[in-house]
Amino acid sequence: MAITGWFVALLALGAVPTIAIGQPLALVAWVVLVLLLAGLDLVLAGSARAVRIQRILPQRVRLGETVRSELLVTNLGRRAIHGLVRDAWQPSAGASTTRHPLSIPAGERRSFSTSLTPFRRGERRSANVTIRTFGPLHLAARQASIVAPGAIRVLPPFNSRKHLPSRLAQLRELDGRTSVMIRGQGTEFDSLREYVRGDDVRSIDWRASARRTDPVQGGPSLVVRTWRPERDRRVVIVIDSGRTSAARIDREPRIDTAYESALLLAALASRAGDHVDLVIFDRRVRGRVQGATGADLMSRLVDTMSPIEPELIEMDWSAVPGLVRSITSQHALVVLATSIDSPGSARGLLAALPQLTRKHTVVVSSVTDPTVLQATRERADRTQVYRAAAAERAMLDIARVSTAIRQLGADVVTGAPADLPPALADRYIALKASGRL
């Protein structure tokens, strides 16, 4: 039950008879009259319970995109209902409006559409739909909440997909190169083709040339071997969802940057024919994608990532080598998406690295804060000089940890939030080109 402003106004209007008559009975009579009218209104109002709610809702949406949420309300009661309907979306679902005026004759159905522009990753829900129906006098209303769970999964935005075409083009250029461009054990023999000027003479396959005659001139022609990058390598991405990943850099949590990098790398690697596995880990496995390929891989990745937020606990690096071992026993490219801060907090990472580098190629990717670099340059007054000193100190710490990581045989990729995903993709391409996968 609810009352309207008209009820309050009507009650306040009782001042007129009260002053005019000046007897307590006038006031009592007025209050009783208003209550009776409200009661009558309540009885005459259509039932807010006799409705059926249907939702038409897409299951997923990328962060930053807009979708339409349809709410179909069927009036199952005997009377028409007039009033308001509220679809209780969570605030971060970014609903354009959550309340709609409602007017449905008995037995009919109306649709209400809301546009949702979620501004936070994860699962956004609306548990109930509340309906308030007014009586003909608009004094009182009936109200009921109907359980109508609706949920929409907000996926990471994958803004870095704009870098994908250029990186795929680089990847294609690796195909069909001769050994002058690519040397290493990791490359595979691909095919034979005719010699063109500029090819390395060392890659001429003399036996094949001897067997072959030029179809046009009839004379002998030279044939060179071509190579292509290895396929079916393994890429294991470990994302740190611990305490340090909650920090925001450029209004983006570190873990979101890690997701962006992981998505770009996975898209690239799966096109290049490699297997990508993902683990999101702090002290326990928060999310895991294993054995997925092609389009399925990307959708499973974003689905897994979407609800996971960092937790305020320390990352357990000692469990990571075992985790990687459980995923693959082969040599793999292990990408650790974490943060390189200070020697103190990186101790766990540094302790676990030797076990990983012994068998795998390891890349540590970390977001750097552009404001730190900027702070070193601002030295106008005393406060800023001290700030610059602190920033220099922080950069020195990062440099020391990076050096230690490199000494342990792993690779370091750092960058600002916008630059890290393409930087990691480039590192992958470079590793692939040199056959170190």
Nearer to another protein, 207 or 377 (CB): 377
CB of 3 to another protein, least distance (A): 5
Residue 4: φ, ψ to 5°: -110, 175
Classify the C-alpha dihedral 39-41-43-49 as positive or negative.
negative
CA 26 to chain centre: 66
Alpha-carbon distance of 227 to 424, in angstroms, equals 24
Nearer to another protein, 49 or 177 (CB): 49
Alpha-carbon distance of 180 to 201, in angstroms, equals 9
CB of 135 to another protein, least distance (A): 15
Alpha-carbon distance of 433 to 325, in angstroms, equals 25
CB of 27 to another protein, least distance (A): 5
Nearer to another protein, 174 or 395 (CB): 395
Structure tokens at 280: 């999101």
Alpha-carbon distance of 383 to 392, in angstroms, equals 14
CB of 359 to another protein, least distance (A): 28
Nearer to another protein, 226 or 368 (CB): 368
CB of 351 to another protein, least distance (A): 22
Angstrom CA distances, 343 to 127, 242, 351, stand at: 46, 17, 11
User: What SS3 class is residue 51?
Assistant: strand
Nearer to another protein, 12 or 285 (CB): 12
CB of 126 to another protein, least distance (A): 8
Nearer to another protein, 74 or 221 (CB): 74
Q: Name the residue among 135, 85, 88, 89 with its Cα closest to residue 111.
A: 85
